[in-house]
Amino acid sequence: MFETLEVATDARGVARLVLNRPEKHNALSARMITELTEAAFQLGSDPEVRVVVLAAAGKSFCAGGDLGWMQAQMRADGKTRAQEARKLAEMLGALNRLPKPLIGRVQGQAFGGGIGMMAVCDIAIGIEGVSFGLTETRLGLIPATIGPYVLARMGEAMARRVFMSARIFKSDEAVRLGLLGRAVPPEMLDEAIEDEIRPYLDCAPQAVARAKALAQHLGAAIRAEDVEHSIAELVACWEGAEAQEGIAAFFERRKPGWVRCDRT
């Protein structure tokens, strides 16, 4: 049914939504973005599903935007760029509004859009020593469409530590930033995920859904105008000289012009 995902639900009603492009480090292609949106609506409307675990195949959780998808945006016109950015925003929104508990199983590194995927989980559990980063500014871009969800998860003060610098950070800092609920040794990851799943199976499903919706209503609400602003900001970056230089430098395996090698 899906080309980029695996979806299966066990007898308890625990659904596994697995990013399945391990050869591409589960980077977000246009196809994966569409399929994640579809899967979110399917799982959200299935009364047999009690809990959803967002996981990934291979060594990486999600490497961010697919390079082919990014190249296509650079060649596109402004209208097309906005449409593609909106699809990404709608996918994140669909996962964020999922009326089931969404538990992230973060078995590997995550960058850019992968951080956004973690941010829309109700809780994400990762393994120790993994690398994370909001690396968009290295390419002359910004963490735009994921921004509302990252800020809602971390809070402004915490997010500003890593939002602009493209600095790589590890699991222990991801816990302090609120991005991970906790980090465990690799051999304990599945046990930790089960510890998060088990309590929900004793709860009334509709009460869980209403409690989640209430928490989102009372918390840092994701406003439609903020999503639209993030889309406009990303399109503006794509149309700017810095993104052209940054992405060209990446594919040409050279440093972009703004890099200062002498940092003393």
| CA nearest neighbour of 126 among 178, 168, 50, 79 | 178
Residue 140's Cβ-count burial label (10 Å; 0-12, 13-18, 19+) is buried
105, β-bridge pairs: 125
Q: In whole angstroms, give the CA distance from residue 210 to residue 216.
A: 10
pLDDT band at 263 (very low <50, low <70, confident <90, very high): low
| CA nearest neighbour of 139 among 73, 219, 62, 51 | 73
pLDDT band at 76 (very low <50, low <70, confident <90, very high): confident
Domains in the chain with CATH codes? 5-189 (3.90.226.10)
CA distances from 115 to 49, 56, 106, 197, 211 (A): 25, 13, 10, 22, 24
pLDDT 10s digits, 236-262: 998 899 998 998 898 899 999 999 876
pLDDT value, residue 102: 98
**What does the block give as tokens for 65?**
């935007």
**Cα(first)–Cα(last) distance of the chain, in Å?**
54
| CA nearest neighbour of 91 among 155, 32, 134 | 32
| CA nearest neighbour of 19 among 97, 110, 123 | 110
pLDDT value, residue 190: 98
Amino acid 109 reads: Q
Most confident of 9-18, 70-79, 237-246: 9-18
Of residues 48 and 77, more confidence is placed in 48
pLDDT 10s digits, 114-166: 999 999 999 999 999 999 999 999 999 999 999 999 999 999 999 999 999 99
Residue with tokens 């994640």: 36
pLDDT band at 78 (very low <50, low <70, confident <90, very high): confident
Which H helix or E strand runs over 227?
helix 224-238
Could you give phi then psi for residue 7, rounded to 5 degrees? Answer: -130, 125
pLDDT value, residue 79: 84
The yes-or-no verdict on residue 167 having pLDDT over 80 is: yes
pLDDT (mean) for 13-26: 97
pLDDT value, residue 84: 87
pLDDT value, residue 251: 87
pLDDT (mean) for 206-232: 93
Residue with tokens 């009372």: 218
CA distances from 264 to 124, 138, 249, 256, 260 (A): 38, 20, 24, 19, 10
Residue 11's Cβ-count burial label (10 Å; 0-12, 13-18, 19+) is exposed
The angle subtended at Cα 222 by Cα 238 and Cα 74, nearest 5°, is 10
